[in-house]
Every structure is written in C-alpha cells, then in structure tokens.
Structure 1
Amino acid sequence: MTLGTQIPHSPDRDRTPAPGSTAERYLTALRALGVQTLFVNAGTDFAPLVEAYAQEGSGGRYPVPVLAGHENVVAGMAHGAYLMTGQPQAVMFHVSVGTANAVCAVINAARERVPMIVTAGRTPILEDGAVGARDTAIHWAQEMYDQAGMVREVVKWDYELRSAAQVEAVVRRAVSVACAQPRGPVYLTLPREVLAGPATDGPRGAAPVAVPAGPAPDPTAVRELADRLAEARYPVVVTTAAGADPDAVEMLSQLCERYAIGVAEAGPRYLNVPADHPFHLGLPTEAFGEADVLLFLECDVPWIARRGAPRDDAFVAQAGLDPLTSAYPMRTQRLDLGITTATTSLLTALDAAMADRADRIPPERADTLAVRAAEHRHRLEATFAGPTSGAITKPLLSRALAEVLDDDAVVFNEYWADPRILRRRTPGTYFYLPAAGGLGWALPAALGAKHAAPERTVVAAVGDGAYLFANPAACHHASAKHGLPVLTVVANNARWDAVDASTRSVYPDGVAVRTDESRLSDLSPQPAFARYVEASGGHGEEVTDLDGLRPALRRALHAVQVEGQQALLDVRCAR
C-alpha cells in the first residue's frame, strides 16, 4: 500500500457524507448477497467506507472487515476462506498501487477458478466540487488511464461503479459472473466521490443472484467414454483438480473402485482421491506404459512430453469445465474425445452408464490394478524410507508431518510437502500452490482458512523462498490481530530449489550443474525466521536435526491447538 502525504485544506471545504451514502448501500448489497467478510488493505479512497462502518453501530449489516498489512496477504486470505466455505469472497485494495501489489494473487485466483470479488478504489475523478473529490497531491499521481487493464487478462469481468442508482445491480452482476462456471475473480473500481455521494435514488434491495448451472456432459460422449472404459484392459482416470469440488472426491473414488478403473494424479492441487484408494497408481507416468484408455479429468496440463506421454495407441479423453484449457495461450496435448462438463455431472452420468456395461468389464482387471497399486506403494515406501536421526531432508520432513497431523487438519502446501507421503484421506484437507505459481500464497491462504474455519488445525508448509514472498511480517501481524493460530513449517535450505531444478532440467550436463552455480538461487545468510513469529507473540523454534523434529512439531501443534498461539518451525534442511 502506498499513501500520500495529507495536505491541509481550508475549513470551508470540509464536508460530511450524507446519511445513506453510496458506500453504506454498497456494503449492504454485498452482505445481502452472501458476502460475509471484506478482506481489506485500505488507503485514502476508503474514507466513505470508514464513515459507513463507523455509523454501522453494533454491526451485522455489512460484511465483517478483516485488515491485513499487504495486498498479497489480503487476497491470499480470501482465497483460503473460499477453499473452506465454497462461498464467494470480497477484497478491496487502494486504487492503482494496491491493485498492482495484488496482481500475483489475482492470477492465482483466476487459474484456480476462485470467485473473488476484487474491488479497488479509484482516484477521485473530480478535482473539486463534491464530497470525496481530490484533496491530496497523490490523487493526481495515482490515477491511471486504464487501472483495470492490470488485471483484465485474468478476470472474468471488470467495471466501474458510476452511480448510486446501480449499486445493487452492479454487485449482483459481480457476484453472479464470479460464481458462474467456470468460476473466477471479477474486478470492480469504486471512485471515492461516488461512494461518498448520497444514495437516495434508484431501486433498493438485492434480488437473488441467478447463477447458471454448470455444464452437463453430452450423452453421446458419455456413452462412448463408458464403452471405452468398460472394455479396456487397463483404464485409468488421471486428475489434477477434480477435488476442487469436495463432493467429487467420494464420487470419483467409488466410480473407480466399483468398475475397476485405475486412478493417478498429475501434480495434484487438491485431495482428489484418498491416498489409500485400492487402485491408486501414483503418478500418471507410472501408468502410461500399460494404460489403453485414459480419462484426463480436470487436468490443465495432462502430461509433459519429455517426462512421459500416453501410448500412441491409447484412447485419450479429456473432460472438465474447459477441457482445452483455453485460458492458456498454447497447450496442445492430444485428445480423441473432449467433454465440457462439471466434474460431478460427468461422474453421475458416467456411473449410470458404467452400470449398464458392468458385464463387459474384464474380470481380471481389478486384480491387475490392485497388484499395480500395491507395487506403487512399495516403491514409494522404499523411495522415502530414511534414517531416524541426522540431517533433515524434505521427504523426511513430509513423513514427520504426516505422522503428527490428524485426518481433519488442513495443509496448504507451497512446494515441499509431498502429497504421496502426507497421505491425506479427507476431502478439503490438502491444497497445493495454484497453477500460476504465484509465490507467497500458502501462509496467507492458511490464515484465511483459519478465519473461515476456526475449529480446524491449519498448516502452511512453505520453503524459505516462498516464506519470504509471503510478506511474513504482515502475515504474522494478521494472525495476531485477528486471532488466527496457524502452524507454519518452513523447509529452509537457504536457496530457491526451483531455480536450480530448472537449470538441471535444461542443462543437465552444463557448467552450472558441474560447478553448483548458485548466485541466482542462494538465499544465505537466512534470517532467524523464528523471530518473525515471536515478534507477533507467537511460538517459534529452529530445528536442525531429525531427533528434535517430531518433538518440535508436537510442541508447535500444542501451541496452536491448546494455547491458541500461532507457531513457526524454521526447519534447517539439507540441500
């Protein structure tokens, strides 16, 4: 947030907003349409909203304001709150500069189809002559020709509120567009003098929001897919984000178990099926060699050619709200059948179609898939088995975290926590960094989740680089301010692993690999991260060896669950 220096003005230009301001009407409309919380990072454009909240009295008419010290934290909190509630969330920033700080988080929300009502003040249009007109020099410097242009490529709709008469219609439009499938953020600018003006004309009351139902699959396509799946020798469903709808988790699990269909996960960003599903085959590359029919369900990047691809003779179907992932400028993985559909709609229709074809399923298929799933589990256990003392590695940290968390705990993972080791089983308990990779997401999202579901244990699993991106001082301040005790586990190896991994991938035999070139990835010397949380009254520890890891995790969980304190473990990991 960037604020200008206030300059004095003459008493005859002081104006008090009239009762029933547009700001009051706007906040009332948000609440009437189900927006319970307004996550904010405020500035000079908020004056009418400040006055409206001051006049609210005991509260209840407007969304509850939740303040955080950085826009990325604000938007991340709204993202996490949506993941817990499934309800649209609203945020507001300070004009152009506040929006600029939040663009990364808005891109994350767009790629994950989060219905976020992103609002920002707009520099007063009028230079004089109205309540809310320009009264500080920064109002000239912060004005842009096209403020919404910063986010237009990733939001579904953008608009500027122009009159009190249209408040309810504009808010209704924003909520309905954001919630229509595929969901996503919208952007609304609010000029200060419009918010400050009287709201005496136009219709009142908020009509119900009409959100179109999600698309249903084409019946002919469902029949073809069911024929292929029923007659296949080795059919596999591959998913990345089916679990974005928690109801889909059980439906997909039962479909695969009932009709002997394997399931694999490509970079899962949600819990899509329980980790102990009897036909869980692991990564899709582990199944590509045998799979003769593949259904890629909500996979924005179904496979990466250099890491493995389906057989040339395999039948490939892709299904989801946007099976071609049309928001991505280039994405050409082949498909033999494409189905535009909501996940649960497809699973419902496919279950019925498969029931009619159950007698065509090869009887030996279930045994084959069960054997392959068991082989996958054995490989996994062998790969991630390790010592119980000595240096800490990220796989060993994942294993320790899995051992101390209960099934209801919610994990927000930004890179290091391996879902294959965490073995989560309950829908809505695992979320991975959004597809856009906008860093600094997990800790703010964990805070928003805790605000929306205070009874849940919430964990942010972050690397040291991602933790720095999260504006940790602002995050821990928000945790203390709003009473949001979350556990942050920092896997700290003092470098950006993603940069090193990319270099190894592109130049496996290059000089950089041979010489361990690290000037663009080395983050040492690292701060004492535990002090960050202690500065906001939380529990902080540095952990350096495996012997101390599990006791430290249990102490941190006790601080969060029993003492109501936020906690952070700075876990020094081997490179």
Structure 2
Amino acid sequence: MDHSHEQTGAESLLEGLSQSGIQYMFANAGTDFPPIIEALARRDPSAAPVALTIPHETAAVAMAHGAYLVTGRAQAVMVHVNVGLANSVMGVINAASDNIPMLVMSGRTPISERGRKGARMTPIQYGQEMFDQTSLVRDLVKYSYEMRYPEQGKQLVMRAMSLATSEPQGPVYLSLPKEPLSEIVPEITQTHHPMPPSATKILPDPEAIIKLARLLETASNPVIICQRGDTEGRLSRALSTLAAKHGIAVFEPFLLRNVLPSNDPALQGYHASGPSDADLIIVLDSDTPWIEATNAPGPETIVVHIGPDPHFARMPVRGFRTDLAISSDSVEAILAVDRAARAPSAAGQRSKALAQSATQRRDAAQVKAKAGDTNPMSAEWISHCVSEIMDEEAVAFSELGLLPAYMTLKGPNRLFNNVHAGGLGWAMPAALGAQLMRPDRLTIACMGDGSYMFANPVACHQIAEALRLPILTIIKNNAMWNAVRRSVVNGYPDGSAAMSNTVPLTSLEPLPDFAAIARASRAHAERIEDGRELPAALQRAVGIIRTEKRQVLLDLRCAVSDMH
C-alpha cells in the first residue's frame, strides 16, 4: 500500500501518540470517529498505538489507570463526543485523585454545517453539540485544549503528554472536532520537532532537609505516614532503610498502593489512629493522612508534609496541620534526609521495639483471619487466602474488598486500592489494564458486590474474553452497600435506621446470578458459601488461569461487618 499520501489531522494525531511513547489507545468509538479509523487503516501499524475496542468508557479509563500502575507508562483513551466524555468522567476523577498520567481525548461534534470536510451529516451532530464540552473535565485535568487545525495534532499530543508526565502527574484532555481531523496538513507546516521531555524531578530545598534532619535526630517517637509510592518501588527501599536506621514507625492509612512489604519491621499497620503519641510526623505524598475530627495529632506534635505538591492544591478544603512543607519527589526527599540525619542513640532500641510490635500485629491478624473460615466467611479470611495464592509477581486491585492487615504482601505495589474520590467500578477494569501489560502474571480484582455492578461487568467480562485477559475476579458478596450502612450506623447509632432490620437504601437484594453473568463470556465461575472451601477454590482458579488462559470469577458469601 502506498503511504506517501497527504497527511490528515487524524494521522498527525496518531503520529504524536506514537512518538510520545503511548502503546495503547483504549477507544470507545462513535459516528465522529471515521477520520481516526481511516487514519488507523492507512497508517503503518508500527507507527501508531494499538487501538483497542473497549465497550464502555469507564472501563477504558480504568484500564489506562491500571496499565500505568504496573508499568509507570502513560496510555491514551479516546471516547465519543460529549456523551462518551460524560461516561468517562468518573474514571478521570479517579485518575486525577491518584495523579495518574494519561491522555484523554474525545471527538467533538462538527462545527460546520456544509462546505468543509467533516461537516455535519446526521441529526445527532446537532443535538450533541455543547457550548463548552471541555467543562465536563476541566476541573479534573492538568491541561485541556481543543484542536483547531490539522497540523496541530502531533504538537498538541506531545505538549499534553509532557505536562501529564511532569510532577505532580495527572490526566490531560484534548477535544478533537471532526473538521481538523479530516483536513489535510499543509505541507509547509510538516516540521519534525522532538518530543518535549517531562520536567525534571522536584528536588528538596537543602535548608528544609537540614531542618527536618535536626527534627528527626531529636524526636523520641518519630512516625512516617505514606499512602503510595513510585511504580518502580524506589520509595519502598529508601523508606525501609531510613526507618531501620532511625527507628521510625511507618503507617500506611487509607493506602492506595502499598509501599512496604508486610514483613518490614518498621511497618506498624494501616490505621489512621496509629501515630497518636508521635512527637514528629512526616507525611509522604498523602492527601488524607488522618481524619481531622477523630485522629488529629496533639498540639505539641510537629508535622512535616513532603510531596510534589505537599499542600494538594487540587483540594478546595484541606486543613491538616503543617509545620513544614517540602516540595519534592518523595524518594529524593527520603534519600536526602537519610544522608543528612545522624541516627540517635535510641534508634536501635526503638527499632527492636518496632520489630516486636510488628510481629505481634501480624500474628494477631493471622489468628483473626483464620477464625473467619465460616459460613458466611469473613473479609479477613478472604484477604488472607487471596494473599496466599499471590506469588512474587502477582498484584491485586481492591475496591472495598481486601484488607491489607490480613495479607502477606511480598513487596511494594502488590495491592492497589480505589482512590479516595470513590468512583466505584474501578478495580475490575483496572485489573484488565494491568493484565494487558503483564500477560503472564496473576492479576486479581476483588470488590464488593455493589462495586462489581458499578464496573459494568458485562462489558468487563467481554473485554477479558476478547483481549484474552485471564484475570481472577473475586466478589465479596454481602448483598448490600455495607459502606453506606456503616456510615448510617456510625452517624446515628441509636437512630431508627440502625435499629431496623434493613437500613433503607442499602439492600441489593435480590441479587443477580453473578456467576451466570461471567459464564456468558465463557468464564469459569463458582459461588462459594463456606469459607473452608475457599483455599481450594482459589487454587482451582489459579490453575485454570495458568493452563487454560481463561478468566475466572468467584462469588463469595461474606459476613457483614461494622468495621469494613
């Protein structure tokens, strides 16, 4: 085929995606996609990202999210005009809350009614026009722009991606009207500029590091709070070294990506109330280190926040105490403190006490977990059993599903939780994105029954079959929105709702047959009610995934808990 034809705006766009290092474009196509589809057909496949058909927009965005978490490489999403963008907004909320770089693109209804290539041809192109389509995501993205001319395609993609991957990272958005995608790029504008690099890492102010080092040297009970690390695990190694040298307790409350392995002696758990008696708290890139109403540190505690944006400018209200704010890449800040601070004489004694405390905590968790092999089974038992099938490379995506305190996580970035923004339906498609990038490794999605329904499971199971992504989906089934029920009971413990047999607006009964939904896409599916049967069911699931390369769903009857 002759590829010496004149380049269209759509082809310029694809060239920019390819040169930006984007491997996949997760696409949910519409009637304004013809310029993109034609460009994909005409362009050398090696010079364009792999375009994947994803039958729901929230799944497309979550797949890009999950793909980044396991690789550190940003991907692209393309959806159909305003309606597709509206469906994708929840996923963009999640990406923004987790600082996930990705390029989100949507078509835009043609502006012209006649006389131009790409002008309006259908009734929906009138009804889908908006005065400000970008307003749907403007509050969530780092950068947004609407393509005006065909020659802008490559340039806009490269600028957007350099901004997305610069700290603090996050999603970016391009609106793509049909006319500039359809038109020919003028020959005089076909210049070849290199991809702008991401901005260099934010390094800490040396004076601030010296100040923090002196605080650490004189602290009697220092604590570090973290919720996520880098995709390469560098923070885990640096933090473990610093904590061991100085006898620092580490807590991971409301974790998004686990930082330390479960057996690290510095790790003291995942609860926000842990550092209540600390005299120095170092908060690493954590948007919600504790709940102000219940777990705020005392007035004598010194609090230091570190991160690319230690004040989290994206949050309208955030009043956590801050005595020192250091703008820095978290890894670089920890390494700098390690170089600058002298270990106090009490460090060895503190480290020994922390190790004993960590062992006791893990032992107690194991006892509690194993007591939950009942009918219905406990969430603690589910979490324990799931971690038992996870080898050195397995990862799990959890959405109101897994409890890290009862798991044995063998390293950093083994457990990914849904973000605090709470856009439900994330875990399953995020696991699909991770499986795509790591095809020979075990990927698990564990979620509540309500979250499973939010995930558009018919679409997700179809994706798993169509793209040959054999994930293990686990449903923690208690037939209700238990998070809503808990919030009602905690808010009104003596109220009428708490005393009723069924708290209003929380029941999901009668539930559909989740196993049947999965089997419609040729998945192996089982319903397990007795916790004693779970270990064998999980082993069967892993065997099927390994040997048949087929997706598996386990629907587990789970006890209702007032704790999680």
Q: TM-score, normalised by structure 1?
A: 0.93
Runs (5+) with no aligned partner, structure 2: none
Give the direction of change, closer, same or farther, for the CA distance of 1:362–1:114 in structure 2 (3 Å limit).
closer
8 Å Cα contact 1:168/1:206 also seen in 2: no
Q: Quote how far apart the aligned CAs of 1:360 are.
A: 5.2
Give the direction of change, closer, same or farther, for the CA distance of 1:387–1:363 in structure 2 (3 Å limit).
closer
Q: Quote how far apart the aligned CAs of 1:290 are.
A: 3.1
Q: Quote how far apart the aligned CAs of 1:130 are.
A: 1.8
> What secondary structure does 1:335 align onto?
coil
Distance, in Å, in 2 between the alignment partners of 1:366 and 1:392 is 36
Amino acid at match of 1:62: A
Q: Quote how far apart the aligned CAs of 1:21 are.
A: 1.6
Distance, in Å, in 1 between the alignment partners of 2:272 and 2:366 is 18
Q: Of the candidates 434, 451, 454, which is equivalent to residue 466 of structure 1?
A: 451
Amino acid at match of 1:465: G
Amino acid at match of 1:149: S
Q: Of the candidates 165, 169, 177, which is equivalent to residue 151 of structure 2?
A: 165
Distance, in Å, in 1 between the alignment partners of 2:378 and 2:245 is 38
Give the direction of change, closer, same or farther, for the CA distance of 1:285–1:131 in structure 2 (3 Å limit).
closer
Amino acid at match of 1:414: E
Match status 1:49 vs 2:19: no
Distance, in Å, in 2 between the alignment partners of 1:443 and 1:430 is 13
Partner residue, 2:516: 531
8 Å Cα contact 1:29/1:206 also seen in 2: no
Pairing of 1:236-255 with structure 2 (within 5 A): 236-243=223-230, 246-255=233-242
Pairing of 1:121-270 with structure 2 (within 5 A): 121-201=107-187, 202-243=189-230, 246-270=233-257
Partner residue, 1:271: 258
Partner residue, 2:314: 327
Greater alpha carbon shift after TM alignment, 292-301 vs 164-173: 164-173
Distance, in Å, in 2 between the alignment partners of 1:206 and 1:448 is 31
Partner residue, 1:414: 399
Q: Of the candidates 287, 311, 334, which is equivalent to residue 347 of structure 1?
A: 334
Pairing of 1:354-393 with structure 2 (within 5 A): 354=341, 357-359=342-344, 361-393=346-378
8 Å Cα contact 1:172/1:206 also seen in 2: no
Distance, in Å, in 1 between the alignment partners of 2:499 and 2:15 is 62
Pairing of 1:532-547 with structure 2 (within 5 A): 532-547=517-532
Greater alpha carbon shift after TM alignment, 231-240 vs 411-420: 231-240
8 Å Cα contact 1:223/1:353 also seen in 2: yes
Pairing of 1:83-94 with structure 2 (within 5 A): 83-94=69-80
Give the direction of change, closer, same or farther, for the CA distance of 1:507–1:53 in structure 2 (3 Å limit).
same
Pairing of 1:293-304 with structure 2 (within 5 A): 293-304=280-291
Partner residue, 1:502: 487
Distance, in Å, in 1 between the alignment partners of 2:307 and 2:288 is 12
Deviations 1:179-203 (A, max 9, x none): 1100001110111121111123313
Q: Quote how far apart the aligned CAs of 1:401 are.
A: 1.1
Match status 1:22 vs 2:9: yes
Q: Quote how far apart the aligned CAs of 1:453 are.
A: 1.3
- How many matched pairs? 555
Greater alpha carbon shift after TM alignment, 63-72 vs 377-386: 377-386
Deviations 1:6-55 (A, max 9, x none): xxxxxxxxxxxx74221112111210111111110000111011111222
Could you list the structure 1 runs, at least 4 aligned residues long, displaced by more than 4 angstroms after superposition. 359-363
Partner residue, 1:117: 103
Give the direction of change, closer, same or farther, for the CA distance of 1:385–1:461 in structure 2 (3 Å limit).
same
Distance, in Å, in 2 between the alignment partners of 1:285 and 1:426 is 21
> What secondary structure does 2:354 align onto?
helix
> What secondary structure does 1:485 align onto?
coil
Amino acid at match of 2:172: V
Q: Quote how far apart the aligned CAs of 1:312 are.
A: 2.3
Runs (5+) with no aligned partner, structure 1: 1-17
Q: Quote how far apart the aligned CAs of 1:373 are.
A: 2.5
8 Å Cα contact 1:271/1:425 also seen in 2: no
Q: Quote how far apart the aligned CAs of 1:243 are.
A: 4.7
Give the direction of change, closer, same or farther, for the CA distance of 1:72–1:372 in structure 2 (3 Å limit).
same
Greater alpha carbon shift after TM alignment, 380-389 vs 85-94: 380-389
> What secondary structure does 2:332 align onto?
helix
